[in-house]
Structures are given as structure tokens and as C-alpha cells.
Amino acid sequence: MNKGTVLIFSILPLFFFLAAALAQGAGPQDNPFFAPYNTPFDTPPFERIKNAHFLPAVEEGIKREQAEVDALLANAAEPTFENTLVALDKTGKFLSRVTAVFFSLQSSNTSPELQKIAEQVSPLLSAHRDNIALNPKLFARVKKIYEQRAGLKLNPVQLYMLENSYKDFVRSGAMLEEARKTRLREINKQASLLSLQFGNNLLAETNDFKLILERKEDLAGLPPSVVDMGAATAKQVGMAGKWVYTLQVPSWTPFLQYSERRELREKIHTAYCMRGDRNNDKDNKEIIRKILALKLERAKLLGYATPADFILEENMAKNPGAVNSFLEKLWAPALGRAKSERDEMQSIIDREKGGFRLEHWDWWYYAEKLRKEKYALEDSAIRPYFKLDNVKQGIFLLCEKLYGIKFLERKDLPIYHPEVQTYEVQEADGRHIGVLYMDFFPRASKRGGAWSGGFRRQYYENGKRVAPISNIVCNFTRPTADAPSLLSTDEVETFFHEFGHSLNTLFSDTAYETRNIPRDSVELPSQIMENWALHPELLKLYARHYKTGEIIPKELIDKIDKSRLFNQGFATVEYLAASILDMQWHTLKDPAAVDVNRFESEAMSRIGLIREIVPRYRTTYFNHIFSSGYSAGYYSYIWAEVLDADAFEAFKEKGLFDKATAASFRKNVLSVNGTEDAMLLYKRFRGAEPKIEPLLKRRGLLAE
């Protein structure tokens, strides 16, 4: 994760660096960004921040950072690590403070106004980034230090920072001739706007569709909780007395799991799969072609054959060949397992004399039947034990057992939406670690999925640690009139996952704000947390029935544990298919005139994807690679799973809650992520490079 003045933007998701809001007449005197916040822990004063405040604050931030860089360049002394790299690391604090607020709101609480504003400000930020990254005098200073590095007495963290800063400048185009720099600036500007448009289109497409049911017979098969969810959604959108299901995952997934109305399952799943592909004003196909053409042109300008070659050079994988080889090793066993799962479900259809072939909109429904048949386990029987508040307390308990930290709810911190919860995070002795915001439920103003970001990253100022402010944003099942939020097992694992990212942010304790985390290692802190989510030892401590308070019975825990490999063929195949599709797009040599749907279809045909499974993300709604930071990097989740599966073995060897192992993981990984080579940090924790066998066992791709 490089600092914003260099290439933080090539690593973090696009939403985390795009823009700010339009101002019309808001001056510094009434703009909260221009004065001390005077809030607990210096948290953003959301109740005082208006849309009109963003643009002047962003413009001021750009001016200040440029002035800070100019002052650095005006130093007549010979370039040194301190007067150049450290000085550069300290620039841009004001701009970061402003943009961090907007980046979060743009994703979690957006509006048409904010979206239009982002389109205005995005070119300003793109130009500002290029003004720094392409500054020849600044690069000359960094280059001189880099060339002298062998004779400098730099510690490993400083050397890593220097080497990566130099590479970032080169990869940003610092060595290009002026005409090529000019073209690169235009490419960056166009790409940022197109990526923003892609994300806005996807949000609109997701919000546009509603499955409106008016007859009770159309609710056949749906459990009472899912019926109540539909009624609550209908009431929210002004259709009281009806039932409404949307393309938000907590809505359409249980509908697909339980609805006996096959034509309705087809309707909602097809709508989900056709987002951005309906040949309307929100269609993403032409945007995709333009984005890919710009990425290819940028890669070639910088001396790389494809965007994937450019991107992967900085990852642990290093090149497309290594990624493709890794994915191929997993594909064949995963596809074989998925075919077996398909055949089992087709047997149920045939046994029930359904008279049809399993389709992709049938998979969830018959998978749920198969789970009940094989393990006597239903999602509706599990959810009552996963009340959101109980799961949250389970995570807090796990963190206390591992790291000795505690979470104190704060009602006095400003929030940007009434549903947001805030906590102060402390060490066991009461020392302040940071602040955590959590925002759990879907709404039209929030993009889909789940993520963890922040309103402030950790850094040091005058020798004092400035504590981070982290946030977790999800789209979990909402409470209904009759029940609190009851999570699915997938949602439980998602919560643990995002909390791992947040711990990485909160535990950060590095001398410099500049960090470089390879994209394919960034998921280690999050994915290792998933290992505890449904572990029998932890379930017994937090999973309680929301009505009776009864701890989850051993019989149900055993069923969950025995079913852990259930549907893993499907889960692995849909994920790998999307990862392979990502790599295919980013190694394409001529994307400008490609037929998007034909290319996708042919790519999936070549790997033998069965017709009953759709890639987790079809191209037209593949937000990760077209409007986020995972271009040629979606594979990184399962690459990092090799790391996390191997890392969790250390806890299995020493004890699930072993504090010494947790302390080592915090010290060698979480606190210093991005300050040295990712594999070196991992080996300091584990003592050796990771083995792939734990991952294969977990996915059911290797006999235990």
C-alpha cells in the first residue's frame, strides 16, 4: 500500500481514491475540513460535513500537498533518505483527511449528487497524482538515492521503502519522454472516469430490479423469515401488503434457496446475471472495451506486453504464467467435484420427476435440498443461532482471547448514517489502539458486497503514533418486524473476513505511512479470521439462539463441521472461473473491438465450465476488476488462501487461542504489513514458506 503521493492508487480499490463533492460558495470559515475537528479521537464531524464542503477542501489539499512537494524540491542539500523519502512520506495529510471521508461516503452512502461530483473531481485528483509521480526533479532525487543505496546505512524497512518508491515512480512513467508522459496523463484521466461510470452503472442496475409478488402462492417454499424480509422490503419501497425481493445478496440468495416457483427463481437470477448487459443507458460493455484498451495502451507505454504483465510484476506471483499455472492446478479437481455435486442434484430432480435439466438458477434450491438430505441441515435451522449482535460479540471475544484487546462502544462519536455503530479499540491495559466504525445493512445508497477501509491510516507525527480509524461496511440480512438480523453462515464468515482487514488497519504500527503490500498477500489478515468463524470451539462461545439464549447444540455444531466441504466444488469453480476470466481480459492483445459476451463465453468454454454454473462475476458486473483494485488480481483471494490455510496450521498446532502465536502474527504480519517483502514477513511468523496442502484439504480437493 504505497502512499497517496506515489502509487497508493494502483493498489487500493478505486472507490478509495476517487473524488469529493461539489461546492458552491462554501468558504474555509464554515468548512469543517479547514479547522480542527474537536471531536473524540479526531473522528470526522459527519453532522457538520456537507456536500458543498468537499470541492474547496480537495482543491486546498491539492495546493497544500503540491506546496509541500515544492518545498522538498527547494532544499539545496544533497538528496538523502530523510530529506526526500521521509519528507515525501509526510506530505498530503490534509488531502488524505478530506478524501478519506468522501471515498467512504461514495461507496457506503452515495447519492446522484455525489456521483456527479465524483465525475468532476476525479480528473483533478488524477492530474494531481500525475503531477507528483511524473515530476522529473522529484524523480531525480529519488533516483540518486536509489543508485547510492548500497553505500547507505539504511535498515531493511527503509531500504524496502526506497526500492519500492523508486519502482513506483518508474512504473508511473517517470522515465518516459514528455510526449508519452502527456499521453499517460490522458489515459489515467479517462480510465478513472470510465471506472467511476462502470461502478455507478452497476449500482443503478442493482437498484433498478425488484421482484414484486402479490399472491401468497408465489411465496411457496419460503421460510417465514424470508417472507417477512420480502414484506419489510415492500413496506420500505412503498408497496405495503406485497412482497419485494431485490438483487442485494441477502435478498436474492435465500429466495433462490427456498422458492418452489422455478420461473421466479429464473427471473431473479437472470436479472442478477444481466446487470450491465441489457443494452440500455447503464450497459457496461462499451465502457469495458474502452477501459481495457486504455489499460493495454498504458502497459505498452511503460514497456509491458499486457496489463497483467504490468500489474503482476509487483505481486508475489510476478507474472501471468505463474498465476495461470496456479489456477490450472486447482481447476481440474474443483471442476470434477462440481460435476459430482451437479449430478447429485440432478438425481433429486429426476427422483421427484421434475422433468427438466438443472440450470444455474436451480443450483441454490437443490443444493439446499441436498444439504438437508445428506446432513439433515438447513440454513433456516442455523440462522437463529447467528444473531448479528451475538456474532459481533463472538468476534470481540476471539480478539480478546488472541490479542488481549477490548472494544468499548461509543455513542458520542459522529456518524454518517443512523445505523452506523462506533467502538474505541483498546489494549488490555487501556491504551488506545484506534476507532472502528461498522455499517451492516443494505440500502440503495450503498454499493453491494462487503469491505473494510478507513477514515485515517496510522502514522507517526512528532514521534507520537496517530491512531487509525477503520471501518467495516457490509450488506447483511436486515432485521424484520419479528426478528433481529439473523446471519447465514456465509455472512458470518464475511463478517470475520472484513474484521481481519480491520485488525490489520488497527494494529498497524509503522514508522512511515508509505507501505507496499502486494495485492496477492493483502487478503491474508482477513482470510485467516474466517478459520475461527465456524470452528466448533468458538461456536460454543458465541452462537446462541436469539429467542431462548440457548447455546448452539453439539448436534448442530457437528452437522456444520461435517458439512464444511458441502458445495465446495461450486464455490471453488465459480470463483476460479471469475479469476480465469479476469486473467483472460488482462492478457488480451486487442480489446478495442472485442465482443464482450462472445469473449466471455469462449473463455469459459475453453476451460470447460459447466452450463449449470455462472462465473461468480460476469464481465459486465465484475466490479473488482473494472472499478476497483483487483485488475489481473482477483486470483489473489485463493493465492492468499494458501497463506492463511498454512498460517492457521500454526494455531492448530499450538492451540486455537494461543496468545503467543497470535502475538507473533500481530508482530510479524499485522503490525508491519507492507514494510518489507511479504514472504519474508510470513516466514518470520511461520518459520517457512507456506505449503499448498492445507488449502487443498480445506477445499475438499485433496483427501485428508
Active-site positions? 498
Instruction: Please tell me the distance from the alpha carbon of residue 673 to that of residue 681, in angstroms, as a whole number.
Output: 8
Neighbours of 151 (CB within 10 A): 7
Contact 1, 164 (CB under 8 A): no
Distance CA 437, CA 455 (A): 9
Among residues 659, 701, 656, 440, the alpha carbon closest in space to that of 539 is found at 656
Rounded Cα gap, residues 107 and 99, in angstroms? 12
CA distance 543 to 425: 23
Count CB neighbours of 144 within 10 A. 13
Neighbours of 427 (CB within 10 A): 12
Task: List all residues 6 or more positions away from 129 whose beta carbon is below 8 Å from its beta carbon.
Answer: 4, 5, 9, 188
Count of CB atoms situated within 10 Å of the CB of 60? 17
- Ordered alpha helix ranges (H), 209-238: 224-236
Q: Report CA Rg, the chain.
A: 25
Q: What's the rounded Cα separation, in Å, for the pair 524 and 517?
A: 11
DSSP string for 149-204 = GGGS---HHHHHHHHHHHHHHHHTTTTS-HHHHHHHHHHHHHHHHHHHHHHHHHHH
Task: Read off the amino acid at residue 230.
Answer: G
Q: How far apart are CA 429 and CA 409, in angstroms?
A: 17
| Cβ atoms of 510 and 675 closer than 8 Å | yes
Return the bridge partners of 212, or none. Answer: 244
Return d(Cα 652, Cα 381) in angstroms, integer.
Answer: 29
φ/ψ region of 355 (left if φ > 0, alpha if ψ in -120 to 50, else beta) reads left
Residue 662 host element (H or E): helix 659-665
Contact 630, 594 (CB under 8 A): no
CA distances in angstroms from 544 to 106, 196, 307, 386, 600, listed in the order given: 36, 42, 48, 7, 44
d(CA 196, CA 118): 8
Any idea what DSSP says for residue 524? H
115 vs 113: CA distance, rounded Å: 5
Residue of 448, 463, 460, 537 lying closest to 494 (CA atoms): 448
* φ/ψ bin of 447: left (φ > 0), alpha (ψ from -120 to 50), beta (otherwise): beta
Angle at CA of residue 444, ends 442 and 447, nearest 5°? 70
